[in-house]
């Protein structure tokens, strides 16, 4: 199996501060998603409240653009670094998720759909990305955020959503490239 970075060595997370569990997602367990169509890279909005079966939704602050130099200030934010490795961890395990009964994987950030589409194509993601650019999901679910360069970004997390209800939350997620493995462990009863 390819690594979360598409065949390169696993990132060294030892110099990146781990995010603390500040309890900011405790209220999500058991929550029914509100009816809220969210723009998607499929071109059709997705309403998580109406999706049948089991959805794994992972949320990340932002992915870098090709050639973008990520400044040290980004790495200093606990849990900020690692969005592409997190997305690739779900890509690399997508067959495992399907075999364990997951109906769909979705990723979500506050970046616009065009930006997300570039990421989806560049790293060959087999699932759609949702854009909460207008912060509607953030407001409706009271998701934890942080500010960076004048933009509101969602803190990294993952959740299992069964028939529109949150049945499991992973927060904080660290290291990011282990996000899919954490969810798979839960699905396997670990």
Homologous superfamily of 26-40+47-187: Glutaredoxin (3.40.30.10)
pLDDT of residue 52: 98
> Which candidate, 45, 113, 121, 54, places its Cα nearest to that of 84?
121
Q: What length is written for the chain?
A: 190
Find tokens 């670094």 and name the residue. Answer: 81
Helix axis angle for 179-187 and 83-92, nearest 10°, is 40
Cβ-based neighbours of 61, under 8 Å, separated by 6 or more:
79, 80, 83, 109, 110, 146, 148, 153, 154, 155, 156
In whole angstroms, give the CA distance from residue 77 to residue 120: 25
pLDDT of residue 1: 34
pTM (2 decimals)?
A: 0.92
Instruction: Sort 107 into a burial class: Cβ within 10 Å, 0-12 / 13-18 / 19+.
Output: buried
**Strand arrangement, sheet containing 128-131:** 128-131, 104-109, 54-59, 157-162, 165-170
pLDDT in tens, the chain (190 residues): 333 344 445 678 888 889 999 999 999 999 999 999 999 999 999 999 999 999 999 999 999 888 878 788 888 888 888 889 999 999 999 999 999 999 999 999 999 999 999 999 999 999 999 999 999 999 999 999 999 999 999 999 999 999 999 999 999 999 999 999 999 999 999 7
Question: So where are the chain's domains?
Answer: 26-40+47-187
pLDDT of residue 9: 59
């Amino acid at each position: 199996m390819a690594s979360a970075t598409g065949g390169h060595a696993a990132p060294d997370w030892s110099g990146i501060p781990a995010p603390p569990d500040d309890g900011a997602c405790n209220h999500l367990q058991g929550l029914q998603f509100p009816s809220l169509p969210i723009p998607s890279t499929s071109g059709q909005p997705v309403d998580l409240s109406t999706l049948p079966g089991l959805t794994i939704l992972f949320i990340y602050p932002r992915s870098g653009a090709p050639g973008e130099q990520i400044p040290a200030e980004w790495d200093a934010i606990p849990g900020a670094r690692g969005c592409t490795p997190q997305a690739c961890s779900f890509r690399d395990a997508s067959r495992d998720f399907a075999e364990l009964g997951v109906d769909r994987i979705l990723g979500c950030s506050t970046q616009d759909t065009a930006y997300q589409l570039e990421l989806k194509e560049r790293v060959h993601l087999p699932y759609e990305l949702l854009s909460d650019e207008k912060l509607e999901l953030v407001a409706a679910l009271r998701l934890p955020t942080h500010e960076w360069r004048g933009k509101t970004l969602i803190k990294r997390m993952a959740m299992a959503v069964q028939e529109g209800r949150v049945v499991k939350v992973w927060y904080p997620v660290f290291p990011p490239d282990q996000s899919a493995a954490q969810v798979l462990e839960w699905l396997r009863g670990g």
